[in-house]
Amino acid sequence: MTAEALDADYTILIVTDSVLEADDLNEMLQGYGPALHVRNFDLALDALKRRGASLRLVVFGVSVKGRQAEALLAAVDPARTALLLIDGSPDLTRSDGAGFVTRPYSSDDIFAALAPLRIET
């Protein structure tokens, strides 16, 4: 992943180690804006530091626990950016701005989890 990619124009950050899952999510979410796919936690934090204020949605599909979970939640501003956790721990809940789905999921499951987050297309 290059610095140029992290600085590109995207409003959705998809974090998953599966290219196939990222492609499916990108297709499902294309109405919400352009997406960037990163494959690990460190790249996700770097992207959040660079583009966090302009992100509308972060989809996190890698396992996070402990300090990583705390760092992720600290990096995502719930007033600006919605968070969708795939197979995420309910321990990561916040007062608002977080949705959860479990694998296997469908596009209906994704949209149902996003609906309460009030992300405009």
Give residue limits of the domains in the chain. Answer: 1-9+21-86
What's the pLDDT tens digit per position in 12-32? 999 998 999 999 999 999 999
Amino acid at 96: D
What's the pLDDT tens digit per position in 92-116? 655 456 888 999 999 999 999 999 9
d(CA 67, CA 33): 30
Judge whether residue 34 has pLDDT over 60. yes
Q: Does 34 sit behind a cis peptide bond, omega within 30 degrees of 0 on the bond before it?
A: no
Query: What's the pTM value of the predicted model, to 2 decimals?
Result: 0.89
What's the pLDDT tens digit per position in 57-106? 999 888 767 787 778 778 888 888 999 989 876 556 554 568 889 999 99
